[in-house]
Amino acid sequence: MSDTPVLKIKNLQAKVAEDELRILTGLDLEIKPGEIHAIMGPNASGKSTLAKVLAGHPGYEATAGSVVFQGEDLLELEADERSQAGLFLAFQYPVEIPGVSIANFLRTAVQSRLTDGDELDIFEFSDQLTERMEMLDMDISFAERHVNDGFSGGEKKRNEILQMAMLKPKLAVMDETDSGLDIDALKIVANGVNALVEEDPTMSILLITHYQRLLDYIKPHFVHVMVAGQIVRSGGPEVALDLEAEGYKMYEGFESSANGNSPVTTA
């Protein structure tokens, strides 16, 4: 495994574009190829904002700090360029696109990754889509349904993993993928993610979650606690277990100055 991080966030500060309030207040994070990180935190700690800022949501603005993704300045890229560079965001609330079939949507997304002039091999694409859908226990007819239109919560999340499986990112940011899922759907989603990790051991994952539950199925190497827009504690899986036992209470009123390079670790 390479030691060069796939993602390196330094002192990241960000806010909603037309607002003054900083939501990310100086966040540091480093993810190396093949690592699975989990960020946990109470509501309104800025977890989803981090996901959106990383993916390039136009409604958010980075005001300070840097994000280097695979050697590139991520903040300089448009959302589509970030995706093409290998970043993937699994949405907490996947968006409905009526009238656009999943097959058409994915074909366009895969095509957009090809260099100019290259044509997508439609048969290869189709075979791959079928195979990926089988892996995620999806009926093939699903490909003809309109993107997230009238989907159940579980179907929406499975559709996110299907996209991830087709786009093969270097880093997948999964924003509260477990929310709204019953235990069976959660298992299917987690199994899908684990299969993808097995397939490409250099793929990195950043799980954003409120609950420990997801981490029983996708085992993180590192767990970070996020409070008030920064990471206040980092460690191994035991951090999540502590949280499960004690809740976020111990972090209430926690204030810390952004502290540059060194992550805060408590043993």
Partner 1 sequence: MPENETIQDLGLDEYKYDFVTDAEPVFRAEKGLSEKIVRQISAHKEEAEWMLDLRLKALEIYESKPMPKWGGDLTGLEDVLDEIYFYVRPQDRMEHSWEDVPEEIKDTFEKLGIPEAERKVLAGVGAQYESEMVYHSLREEWEKQGVIFDSIEDGLKNHPELFREHFGTVVPTQDNKFAAMNSAVWSGGSFVYIPPGVSLETPLQAYFRVNQERMGQFERTLIIVDEGAQAHYIEGCTAPVYSTESFHSGVIEIVVKKNARFRYTTIQNWSNNMYNLVTQRALVDEGGHMEWLDGNLGSKLTMKYPSCYLMGEGAHGEILSIAYSGDGQHQDTGGKVVHVAPHTTSSIVSKSISKGHGRSTYRGLCKVHEGAHHARSNVECDALLINETSRTDTYPYIEIEENDANVGHEASVSRIGEEQLFYLTSRGIPEEEAMAMIVRGFIEPIAKELPLEYAVELNRLIELEMEGSVG
Task: Report, in Å, the least distance between residue 15 CB and partner 1.
Answer: 17
| Residue 163 contacts partner 1 per CB under 8 A | yes
Compose the 88-107 pattern: x for residues touching partner 1 by CB under 8 A, - for all others.
Answer: -x-x--xxxxxxx---xx--
Task: Report, in Å, the least distance between residue 18 CB and partner 1.
Answer: 12
Instruction: Sheet with 222-227: list strands edge to edge.
Output: 87-90, 171-175, 204-209, 36-40, 222-227, 230-235
Task: Report, in Å, the least distance between residue 145 CB and partner 1.
Answer: 12
Task: Report, in Å, the least distance between residue 80 CB and partner 1.
Answer: 4
∠ CA 259-45-212, nearest 5°, is 105
- Closer by beta carbon to partner 1, 79 or else 264: 79
Task: Report, in Å, the least distance between residue 97 CB and partner 1.
Answer: 6
Query: What crossing angle do the helices spanning 122-135 and 102-111 adopt, rounded to 10°?
Result: 120
Stretch that binds partner 1, among 36-44, 53-61, 194-202, 217-225 (CB under 8 A): 53-61
| Residue 167 contacts partner 1 per CB under 8 A | yes
**Among 16, 68, 109, 264, which residue interacts with partner 1 (rule: CB under 8 A)?**
109
| Residue 253 contacts partner 1 per CB under 8 A | no
| Residue 78 contacts partner 1 per CB under 8 A | yes
Site residue total, partner 1 (CB under 8 A) = 29
| Residue 112 contacts partner 1 per CB under 8 A | yes
**Among 20, 43, 58, 139, which residue interacts with partner 1 (rule: CB under 8 A)?**
58
- Closer by beta carbon to partner 1, 24 or else 162: 162
Task: Report, in Å, the least distance between residue 179 CB and partner 1.
Answer: 17
Q: Residue 134, exposed/middle/buried by CB under 10 A (0-12, 13-18, 19+)? A: exposed
Binding region for partner 1 (CB under 8 A): 55-59, 78-80, 82-84, 89, 91, 94-100, 104-105, 108-109, 112-113, 146, 163, 167
